[in-house]
Amino acid sequence: MSFASDVRGELARQSVTDACCARSELTAALLCGGGIAWRGRGRYAASITAGEAPTVRRYFAMLKQFYGIIGQIRTLSGDALNNQTRYQLAVADEDAAKLLEALGLLDEAGLFGLRAVPAEETVRFACCKKSFVRAAFLMCGAVSHPDRGYHIEIAAPSEALADFIARQLQYFEINVKNTCRKSKYVVYLKRAEDISDMLSLLGASGAMLAFENVRVKKEVSNRVNRQMNCDNSNINRAVSAAEAQIRDIRFIDSEIGLDKLPRSLRDMAIARHNNPEMPLAELGEQLDPPLGKSGVNARLRRLTELAAKLRSGEDVDL
Ligand SMILES: [Zn+2]
């Protein structure tokens, strides 16, 4: 299984309980899946096509639960050019116009009576914004294994739709970039932190942790290489020690939560996290009661050891 299919598998398993989110996901799936066709005189065909069966089953279940529509799933075998099986969920023609109407996609003024992008009310709430991006990713998203570089993208069929997707991510302060490639409008992210944020935003927290593990390993080995290659002044060492401590603190927080630590360690973790550049003696003065340099050192070392244990999966005793 590739990292990308792990991510898609995890996203396809996210439960949707609210009608607002189901509406938003189905809208994105139809628009990004490119499966709306005009049949003339107010009639339409609607289908959702994806490379993975669980994605299609997800939308089958949503259509049934929230719209009372029973779709039809079929397997499309690959052709000579692209030997990949695809799965299609088709909605009967008599249900298609009703569905498009319910999703707010009909618009008399639009080309073929359709909206090119959804109305803003489709993504009124934060939950629906996430849902929209999740479906867009399931339909036309891709993500690289972190070993091979940091890249996640959604290749939308139109520029307007790509802009719409970008705006949903920007709402969560994820800064996307845009490009155009082979008649697709691509919204993408290159920064590891942004990719991590996007994965957890969409609900792929297992994939996010796997991503972070690879990333931490890579950063540590990069740092070791950098250190071997350059002249290590004391100041460099102090800065990289602090960087490692902050990474450890964030890791502990993501694994067990800082609030689970004894107060002495928690206060230390917060003080270091908030003051990455501060020398140890000054750091000790931030604590209540204040602590000397060697005490600070000892507590930071305990945090590092705790993070190492968590990484290696050992039991920890707090
Ligand atoms: Zn919602």
- pLDDT tens digits along 294-312: 899 999 999 999 998 898 8
Q: Residue 228 pLDDT > 80, yes or no?
A: no
Read off the amino acid at residue 271: A
- pLDDT single digits (tens) 94-147: 899 999 999 999 988 888 888 989 999 999 999 999 999 999 999 999 999 998
Q: What is the pTM of this model?
A: 0.70
Q: Which domains does the chain have, with CATH numbers?
A: 3-202 (3.10.28.10), 231-312 (no CATH)
Edge-first strand order for the sheet with 141-143 is 141-143, 152-156, 184-189, 177-181
Q: How far is the CA of 133 from the centre of ligand 1 (A)?
A: 12
Q: Does residue 257 come out as left (phi exceeding 0), alpha (psi in the -120 to 50 range) or beta?
A: left
In order, the DSSP letters of 289-316 are S---HHHHHHHHHHHHHHHHHHHHT---
Q: How far is the CA of 130 from the centre of ligand 1 (A)?
A: 8
The CA distance from 89 to 35, in Å, is 9
d(CA 40, ligand 1 centre) in Å: 32
Per DSSP, what are the bridge partners of residue 185?
A: 156, 180
244-294, pLDDT tens digit by residue?
Answer: 889 999 999 988 888 889 998 999 999 998 888 888 888 898 898 889 888
Residue 83 has pLDDT above 80, yes or no: no
Q: 5 CA to middle of ligand 1, Å?
A: 25
- The pLDDT assigned to 234 comes to 63
Spatial distance between the Cα atoms of 3 and 7, rounded to a whole number of angstroms? 6
| Strand, coil or helix: 49 | strand
Long-range contact pairs involving 205-211 (C-beta distance under 8 Å, separation at least 24): 205/10, 206/6, 206/10, 207/3, 207/6, 207/7, 207/10, 209/254, 210/3, 210/6, 210/146, 211/3, 211/146
75: CA distance to ligand 1 center in Å?
30
- Ligand 1 centroid vs 18 CA: distance in angstroms? 6
How far, in Å, is the centroid of ligand 1 from the Cα of 62?
13
173 CA distance to ligand 1 centroid (A)? 19
Return the pLDDT at 138.
96
Residue carrying structure tokens 């080309």: 111
For the ranges 40-44, 171-175, 178-182, the maximum mean pLDDT occurs at 171-175
Helix (H), strand (E) counts: the chain: 12, 8
Distance (angstroms) between ligand 1 centre and the Cα of 89 equals: 23
